[in-house]
A and B are shown apart, each in its own frame.
Chain A
């Protein structure tokens, strides 16, 4: 099950905790992967662990020209692109009343707009080959909201709507588009929390622990597989029960 031999995948944010786990899992199932992010050294470190069937293509997704160029490079390196995982994301938290335009825009640009540009660029090849998997990493807060994260929640909710529209447009071409919505996962993003914040979060998580990046990667791997061909336009929540939606 979930065999990805012969498939090719582009994973954005592969230098981060969840992205590295996703790339590793897709690779383990047999896929050839292209890793992207802005920190080349961190990408190389992930690539070194994977060994063969792995390409590193650094790119800054805040640059409007970057997504199209990135897809072109990935397709040139791997021959085609079967799976796109839009995982790159960042936060610029702050209460709305004091949120700067710049903090709003940066988050929307990287979390949402870059994803749109990447999907637009990969669709051409996927349409031609009548196969494709588009997977966006959204967040539980895109559905529930979270104080201090108006920009981030908007970007993640936007990704869900964007994914549904995409799914409708390309469903009869054998291309699926889905989201995975993590709850609180142990990565650099959550390392910044202090002990008290952690405890408060855990009171909201019935499973009583933070999630692991591998548990997000497993959901992505399922959606990337042939077995998930009939699943499209969905958001798969992986959050230890903190929100049931």
Chain B
């Protein structure tokens, strides 16, 4: 489902105000995309809203790259 990846990237672009071509799978939110800790909280909340899923705090901490986000969301919405 590449659809998830597209939607995740769109949210990242919108929230962090970064160029689309910088939002690659391996991009680290804090190191590569200049996010601060509040940005990462906002991103997680935006993912939750977009995908109607809940991301617990311990899982959220592990979401550091675009790929991490895509993987987590795919896994958590699989059964649905």
Contact = CB atoms under 8 A, between A and B. Distances in A.
Contacts of B45: 124
A173 B45 CA distance: 17
Main secondary structure on B side of the interface with A: helix
B42 interface: yes
Contacts of A124: 45
Contacts of B42: 127-128
A169 interface: yes
Interface in A159-213: 169-170, 172-173
Interface in A124-138: 124, 127-128
B38 interface: yes
A49 B24 CA distance: 56
A128 B14 CA distance: 10
Nearest to A124: B45
Chain A contact-residue range equals under 10
A16 B36 CA distance: 40
Nearest to B45: A124
Contacts of A170: 38
A170 B38 CA distance: 8
A69 to B, nearest CB: 17
Contacts of A128: 42
Contacts of A172: 36, 38
Nearest to B36: A172
Interface string B37-70: 0100010010000000000000000000000000
B49 to A, nearest CB: 9
Contacts of A169: 38
A236 B12 CA distance: 39
A175 to B, nearest CB: 10
B29 to A, nearest CB: 16
A109 B36 CA distance: 32
A172 B36 CA distance: 10
Interface in B1-50: 36, 38, 42, 45
B44 to A, nearest CB: 12
A68 to B, nearest CB: 14
B46 to A, nearest CB: 9
A169 B41 CA distance: 12
Contacts of B38: 127, 169-170, 172-173
A23 to B, nearest CB: 30
Nearest to B42: A127
A190 to B, nearest CB: 40
9 contacts: A124-B45, A127-B38, A127-B42, A128-B42, A169-B38, A170-B38, A172-B36, A172-B38, A173-B38
Given A127-B38, A127-B42, 7 more contacts: A124-B45, A128-B42, A169-B38, A170-B38, A172-B36, A172-B38, A173-B38
Closest 3 A-B residue pairs measured CB to CB? A127-B42, A124-B45, A173-B38
